[in-house]
């Protein structure tokens, strides 16, 4: 490929986002707007003061602010506004498909009904498809610091919406909460024909990634720690199990000390199906294109690497085979047009 402006190339290439928590996309200004709307007190005086608090020592220190943001979401319109704000921002990065996590337990325990949440989110999905050309899908996560009984209660609560839920996941603080804690829950999900995705190998060890694989996860969210187990890496590569990697999140939560030490390129070189995602972009200072741009600079990714990551994002998605083929053709056209322009 001729010499190109990589930053513009990265922003413009069609892409899918597969690991983004809706609650983690609430920008400081929207948090304050919703707090006023719902008469919720925040401990910060201004959006600027809130953003100044985004210096995290670990996952737990992040989650304390994350859950404060969840507390301002109360009405159907709140969830609609949150979802549309993310999808509009994602469209600026030419995200054509967004598969988004939602931790319903954070809201139901605050007295918000499942119907309130789902009606707002799914209405935004429908409007985004029509107005923005972004296809969106929802993944509901069970929070791993809660009990398996609570996960089963969640599954019962979302029963009416299962046709519109793409997968059931597991998220939250890893340490002390291995995937095997939810073994029966995920067996039940699989028996009911539901896809399973599991956060593993961010804070947790390679053993957590192996457990997630054994429980039938069709995608591993994060998965960095798999590199500590060469046999596991080979299994993941042979089975083509995607990893939804979140580099700026890993940097902000001190999973890696510097971005140039991030394992993204080593995961790619090991033959793994790797994707790049933003995780909780408002808190970690980067949406999907920024994650790719910063990784390109830190890890010296080539244009071919960027194309591979973009293609992987659609291949690893839950789109239909026809939709995936169309998205990959769109990438091919984009690359060809960009090459002609650069030439």
Show pLDDT as tens, one digit a residue, over the chain (343 residues).
444 689 999 999 999 999 999 999 999 999 999 999 999 999 999 999 999 999 888 878 888 898 889 999 999 999 999 999 999 999 999 999 999 999 999 999 889 999 999 999 999 999 999 999 999 999 999 999 999 999 999 999 999 999 999 999 999 999 999 999 999 999 999 999 999 999 999 999 999 999 999 999 999 999 999 999 999 999 999 999 999 999 999 999 999 999 999 999 999 999 999 999 999 999 999 999 999 999 999 999 999 999 999 999 999 999 999 999 999 999 999 999 988 776 5
Instruction: Count how many Cα atoms sit within 13 Å of the Cα of residue 48 in the half-sphere of its side chain.
Output: 0
Residue 40, φ and ψ in degrees, nearest 5: -105, 130
SS3 content of the chain, % helix, strand, coil (to 5): 60, 15, 30
Task: Return the SS3 of 175.
Answer: coil
CA dist list (Å): 203 to 113, 225, 253, 254: 31, 8, 10, 10
Give the pLDDT score at 190.
Answer: 97
pLDDT in tens, 304-316: 999 999 999 999 9
Give the pLDDT score at 64.
Answer: 84
The answer as to whether 107 is a domain residue is yes
CA distance 200 to 220: 6
CA distance 112 to 116: 7
Give the pLDDT score at 8.
Answer: 95
The answer as to whether 1 is a domain residue is no
The answer as to whether 260 is a domain residue is yes
Give the pLDDT score at 2.
Answer: 44
Quickly count: other Cβ atoms within 10 Å of residue 260's Cβ.
Answer: 12
Count the domains in the chain: 1
Give the pLDDT score at 1.
Answer: 44
* Nearest alpha-carbon partner for 279 in 212, 222, 196: 222
Element (H, E) at 101: strand 95-102
Residue range(s) defining the domain that contains residue 116: 6-342
CA distance 26 to 93: 17
Structure-token match 């429908």, residue found: 126
Give the pLDDT score at 67.
Answer: 85
Quickly count: other Cβ atoms within 10 Å of residue 304's Cβ.
Answer: 10
Any idea which residues carry the catalytic annotation?
A: 202
CATH number, domain with residue 314? 3.20.20.140
């Amino acid at each position: 490929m001729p010499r190109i402006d990589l930053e513009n190339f990265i922003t413009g290439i069609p892409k899918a986002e597969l690991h983004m928590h809706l609650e983690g996309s609430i920008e400081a200004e929207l948090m304050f707007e919703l707090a006023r709307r719902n008469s919720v007190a925040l401990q910060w005086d201004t959006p600027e003061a809130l953003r100044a608090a985004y210096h995290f020592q670990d996952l737990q220190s992040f989650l304390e602010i994350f859950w404060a943001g969840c507390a301002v979401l109360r009405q159907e319109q709140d969830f609609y506004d949150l979802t549309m704000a993310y999808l509009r921002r994602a469209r600026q990065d030419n995200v054509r498909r967004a598969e988004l996590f939602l931790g319903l337990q954070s809201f139901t325990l605050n007295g918000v009904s499942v119907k309130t949440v789902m009606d707002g989110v799914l209405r935004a999905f429908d409007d985004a498809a029509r107005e923005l050309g972004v296809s969106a899908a929802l993944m509901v996560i069970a929070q791993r610091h809660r009990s398996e009984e609570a996960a089963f209660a969640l599954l019962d609560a979302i029963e009416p919406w299962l046709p519109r839920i793409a997968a059931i996941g597991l998220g939250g603080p890893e340490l002390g909460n291995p995937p095997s804690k939810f073994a029966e829950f995920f067996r039940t999900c699989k028996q009911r024909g539901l896809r399973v995705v599991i956060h593993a190998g961010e804070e947790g060890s390679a053993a957590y990634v192996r457990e997630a694989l054994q429980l039938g996860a069709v995608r591993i969210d994060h998965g960095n720690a798999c590199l500590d187990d060469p046999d596991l890496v080979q299994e993941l590569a042979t089975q083509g199990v995607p990893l939804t990697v979140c580099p700026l999140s890993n940097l902000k939560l001190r999973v890696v000390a510097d971005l140039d030490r991030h394992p993204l390129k080593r995961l790619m070189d090991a033959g793994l199906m790797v994707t790049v995602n933003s995780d909780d972009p408002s808190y970690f200072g980067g949406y999907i294109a920024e994650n790719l741009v910063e990784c390109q600079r830190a890890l010296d990714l080539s244009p071919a690497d960027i194309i591979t990551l973009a293609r992987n994002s659609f291949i690893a998605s839950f789109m239909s085979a026809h939709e995936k083929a169309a998205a990959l053709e769109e990438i091919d056209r984009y690359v060809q047009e960009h090459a002609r322009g650069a030439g």
